[in-house]
Amino acid sequence: MERVLIILKPDAVQRGLVGPILTRLEQRGLKLQGLKLMQVDEALARRHYAEHEGKGFFAALVGYITSAPVVVAVVSGKAGTVELVRTMVGVTNPAKAAPGTIRGDFGLEIGRNLIHASDSPASGERETAIFFQPAELISAWNRASDPWIYE
Ligand code: IDP
Ligand code: MG
């Protein structure tokens, strides 16, 4: 199994797109392990985006992600799920993201790209641990639809 940390960024929450975006992930067959509304503070933002520290857009990125509540989720699936979710999300710049992707259908600019998704299984584990306490996650629940989603 692979886990992906999803953040529905402040623009997704402000624009009322939490439902439509979560619906896509849910309808595809991804399994929820955790879900909550929260406010990201500067320390958490810096930790989550540590790889981007020093880049020109870093201050704006921290300002953006801390500017209003976000919805964070952990979704899981079989091997390959991280890549599958990144394909659903689309490339970083919504202006270049393919139609049918979340960024390509809902966004226009790189600084308002609506959603974060972990970029590797290792990032999925690291980021899940940053945003969720173990007790907030239900990592192994029996989903009735599983045999109708996975062969
Ligand atoms: P990703 O979200 O597609 O993985 P990353 O390169 O990891 O993209 O960048 C993290 C986030 O930083 C992006 O989602 C976006 O919000 C922001 N970002 C990245 N590059 C730029 C930029 O050139 N200008 C403004 N914001 C950027
Ligand atoms: Mg990234």
Residue 119 in contact with ligand 1 by CB distance below 6 A:
yes
How high is the mean pLDDT of the chain?
A: 98
Please tell me which residue in 116, 117, 124, 128 is annotated as part of the active site. 116
Token representation of residue 2: 């692979």
Ligand 2: centre distance to CA 141 (Å): 28
Query: What is the percent of the chain where pLDDT is above 70?
Result: 100
pTM of the model: 0.98
Q: Which ligand sits nearest to residue 116's alpha carbon?
A: 1
Domain map of the chain by residue range? 2-39+71-149
Residue 111 in contact with ligand 1 by CB distance below 6 A:
yes
| 94-137 tens-digit pLDDT | 999 999 999 999 999 999 999 999 999 999 999 999 999 999 99
The pLDDT, as a whole number, for residue 25 is 98
2-39+71-149 CATH fold: Alpha-Beta Plaits (3.30.70)
The pLDDT, as a whole number, for residue 51 is 98
Strands 115-117 and 2-8: antiparallel
Shortest CA distance to 35 belongs to which of 15, 48, 21? 21
